Chain A
């Protein structure tokens, strides 16, 4: 009668049993440490997540021209752009403040990548409409994208009354189109640069000596002066110029106030839409032919972000 288990016969069992008894103590010694887990996770995430660069520019325009920024999805942006007269018109015109050209426009963000806009300018009684689509977004992390890239297409319709001509005019003669590629990069928090190869197409030009397609290269920058104030500037170099017009150059400040951005600047362009300021800038910086101007932007949230509208449930 052998009822007792003989461990000496099976030393393996003994070892296993001791191990099992010790296991709880071993695991107690190796308690789950969430802090350490979090550290490891943070290290891993750094490599695996993509951080999209935001606020390359402070608003959707640099001064006159489109910046790489889009209006957020579901946000309506009412823009009032105002240019006084030329400073060199002297004291009689109170250095330009007696006169004004304006554009009233509305931009809307359909998605975070697509923005559309409509506007009406007093200069040449023009209507303009555009869309801007973001193709590449500057980012760091898993996806390392060195720059942002957008395309902009603008159509401008001049509604001045037709003058009597020897040839028949068509309504399409009032239209011109602007196509742009925007390339922008933010270098740290303080400096951003943008390049904008541009083509302006006129449906009709005065004589055969003029070109219908005009090419130019736009440049723009933003320099942060403080948390709320940025210095901005832009310059459009035209490869071919319409005689009597100059290259557009502007410099100004973006001032952020709570819900909106206020822009104050000097520019030698009178017109405010792309066609006007790129190819029909009539002032010259050299002799004081510049305008003081400002852009006011007021944003309205039309469609709330999904995350916020769902939030009301609890």
Chain B
């Protein structure tokens, strides 16, 4: 008699599961920064990038502390923080956006999926629209996002005598995040 009610419960729960969103996150994402010129090698790496994205909506967030960018040359790192990115005033860089073709990614099947990411990069306190393509790879059910894009340093209100000379006017930002 009471058994008759069970399918109704299952139906209700199935409806809930089908709509559930999963948030993938990492706190050890990697962002590399390269503004090398023919004269000088200017490279830094940050292995403590905080990033999250939602599988259904494609909403994605990256957050990186400027001080966590490590250079080979200590003095270069000091200049990067003090003179260019002014990290004591603006400690973080953030990207907030969406993976616009997230629907094409099958999270249950391993493989490489090309993705397009669009959003706002907040760097040095200046917000600029960024649109780039990358890949979302599913490895053993876990997503890895890899992408490269360029930013014009002057677009972000970063000034200095050496930009465009010793420092490239466009910096290359490489992202590599393995999510859980």
Identify the A interface with B (CB < 8 A): 2-5, 13, 17, 20-21, 23-24, 27-28, 31-35, 37-38, 41-42, 51, 53-55, 71-72, 75, 109, 189, 227-228, 256, 258-261, 299, 301, 304-305, 307-308, 310-311, 314
Q: Does the CB pair A24–B19 fall under 8 Å?
A: yes
Given contacts A27-B19, A38-B61, A55-B82, contact A5 B4 (CB under 8 A): yes
What residues of chain B lie closer than 8 Å to A4, measured between beta carbons?
4
Q: Does the CB pair A21–B91 fall under 8 Å?
A: no
Q: Does the CB pair A308–B72 fall under 8 Å?
A: yes
User: Quick check: which of B45-53, B106-114, B131-139, B147-155 contacts chain A, the rest being far away?
Assistant: B45-53
Contacting B75 at CB < 8 Å: which of A3, A260, A304, A314? A260
12 new A-B contacts at CB < 8 Å, known A35-B61, A55-B82, A308-B45 = A3-B4, A17-B8, A24-B15, A31-B21, A34-B61, A37-B61, A38-B61, A51-B91, A71-B74, A259-B75, A301-B72, A305-B71
Q: Does the CB pair A32–B73 fall under 8 Å?
A: no
What residues of chain A lie closer than 8 Å to B71, measured between beta carbons?
305, 308
Given contacts A27-B19, A28-B19, A38-B96, contact A307 B4 (CB under 8 A): no
Q: Does the CB pair A23–B78 fall under 8 Å?
A: no
B104: CB under 8 A from chain A?
Answer: no
Q: Does the CB pair A20–B13 fall under 8 Å?
A: yes
Contacting A35 at CB < 8 Å: which of B83, B96, B161? B96
Identify the B interface with A (CB < 8 A): 1-2, 4-5, 8-9, 12-13, 15-16, 18-21, 23, 30, 32, 40, 45, 47, 50, 52-54, 57, 59-61, 63, 67, 70-79, 81-83, 88-89, 91-92, 94, 96, 160-162, 166, 176
CB<8 Å pairs between A and B, sample of 22: A4-B4, A5-B5, A24-B16, A24-B19, A31-B21, A34-B54, A34-B60, A38-B94, A42-B63, A51-B88, A54-B67, A54-B78, A55-B78, A72-B75, A72-B77, A227-B160, A259-B75, A299-B74, A301-B74, A305-B70, A307-B70, A311-B47
Q: Does the CB pair A301–B45 fall under 8 Å?
A: no
A299-B31 Cα distance, complex, nearest whole Å: 26
Interchain nearest-CB distance for B26 vs A (Å):
13
What residues of chain A lie closer than 8 Å to B94, measured between beta carbons?
38
A116-B21 Cα distance, complex, nearest whole Å: 55
| Chain A minimum-CB-distance residue to B15 | A24
Q: Does the CB pair A311–B45 fall under 8 Å?
A: yes
| Chain B minimum-CB-distance residue to A307 | B70
Identify the 5 closest CB pairs spanning chains A and B, nearest first: A72-B74, A20-B12, A24-B19, A34-B61, A307-B70
What residues of chain B lie closer than 8 Å to A27, measured between beta carbons?
16, 19-20
A71-B82 Cα distance, complex, nearest whole Å: 17
A304-B44 Cα distance, complex, nearest whole Å: 12
Q: Does the CB pair A53–B88 fall under 8 Å?
A: yes
Interchain nearest-CB distance for B81 vs A (Å):
6
What residues of chain A lie closer than 8 Å to B76, measured between beta carbons?
258-259
A263-B46 Cα distance, complex, nearest whole Å: 32
Given contacts A20-B9, A34-B61, contact A75 B15 (CB under 8 A): no
Q: Does the CB pair A34–B52 fall under 8 Å?
A: yes
What residues of chain A lie closer than 8 Å to B63, measured between beta carbons?
38, 41-42
Q: Does the CB pair B16–A32 fall under 8 Å?
A: no
A101-B32 Cα distance, complex, nearest whole Å: 45
A38-B9 Cα distance, complex, nearest whole Å: 36
Given contacts A27-B19, A55-B82, contact A311 B12 (CB under 8 A): no
Q: Does the CB pair B45–A307 fall under 8 Å?
A: yes
What residues of chain B lie closer than 8 Å to A301, measured between beta carbons?
72-74
Q: Does the CB pair B75–A307 fall under 8 Å?
A: no
What residues of chain A lie closer than 8 Å to B20, measured between beta carbons?
27
Interchain nearest-CB distance for B136 vs A (Å):
16
What residues of chain B lie closer than 8 Å to A28, measured between beta carbons?
19
Q: Does the CB pair A261–B75 fall under 8 Å?
A: yes
Contacting B82 at CB < 8 Å: which of A54, A75, A308, A311? A54
Q: Does the CB pair B52–A228 fall under 8 Å?
A: no
Q: Does the CB pair B19–A259 fall under 8 Å?
A: no
What residues of chain B lie closer than 8 Å to A17, measured between beta carbons?
5, 8-9, 12
Q: Does the CB pair A42–B88 fall under 8 Å?
A: no
A20-B11 Cα distance, complex, nearest whole Å: 9
With most chain B CB atoms within 10 A of its CB, the pick from A3, A261, A307, A311 is A307
